[in-house]
Amino acid sequence: MSTINVMVNGLPGNLARLVAGHLSKDGRFKLVPYSLTGPEIQETGCSVSNISVQLIQADQRDSQIEQIKQSQGAFLSVDFTHPSAVNSNAEFYCRFGLPFVMGTTGGDCQKLEATVVSSSIAAVIAPNMAKQIVGFQAMMEYAADNFPGLFRGYTLNVKESHQRGKADTSGTAKAMVGYFNKLGVAFSTEDIVKVREPEDQKAQWGIPDEYLSGHGWHTYTLVSEDQTVRFEFTHNVNGREVYARGTVDALLYLFEKVQTGTRGKMFTMIDVLKNI
């Protein structure tokens, strides 16, 4: 297999840096030394595994991307930017013919898919890049589709905790609520308990100090109408390693699709899982 060139956008953010670090040490990939970054970033560059990466602001990207394409050749893009930039970034990738993997939650999901489908590229877009959690979601989706109303009459409580810098409610939690709705439980995504305060995370959740700046803990609790039956599903992730590994698999999957000429198609991590 030829080397896969990848531009990791969102640097110097934590997850983008972790993914870039993985790619720089993996012989299957070559890290493109440029990264789109957010307006709050003052730096003009950063270093990843001794590779100097130039940071490009949104107002500069249109004027620079063609030169980058000419100097680097064909490449895939990884997007771990702010939720508010999701749709505009997707439009940028599609406009300039840049296949991409997007792991950022938020944005208008229907518009995202429509943007990709009407373009000349393929993309992998998922709110969660952790393969095992995506597999768990697939199991819940199967239950929702095959046993609708299974938990009718039950009450649901959903709690999720992430690092303070995560701006939006967990996309995984929102998706899970959708499955529970199909299973007969009346619950709104607006009722998800979202925790972002480190002191609460330490005192009430017991999250280790070293992971307060990077974690994803979720608990879904179901209780029967007469209070005699209780189900609880929990998935807790400390750090970001599991997301980085999933992103690498998504890139390998997307590269294969691009090589076979796939265009105008949006894939999910479920598609990636089926190919592993």
Confidence of residue 167 (pLDDT cuts 50, 70, 90): confident
Which pLDDT score, from 0 to 100, does residue 1 have? Answer: 66
Structure tokens at 113: 């898919």
Catalytic, out of 22, 166, 182, 215 = 166
Answer yes or no: 162 catalytic. yes
Cis amide linkage into residue 33, ω under 30° from 0? no
The rounded percent of the chain whose pLDDT value lies above 90 is: 86
Domains in the chain, CATH or no CATH each: 4-125+241-274 (3.40.50.720), 131-238 (3.30.360.10)
Catalytic, out of 22, 131, 162, 257 = 162
Output the pTM of the full model: 0.87
226-242 confidence digits (pLDDT tens): 999 999 999 999 999 99
For residue 58, pLDDT over 80 is answered with yes
Which pLDDT score, from 0 to 100, does residue 125 have? Answer: 94
Answer yes or no: 166 catalytic. yes
193-211 confidence digits (pLDDT tens): 999 999 999 999 999 999 9
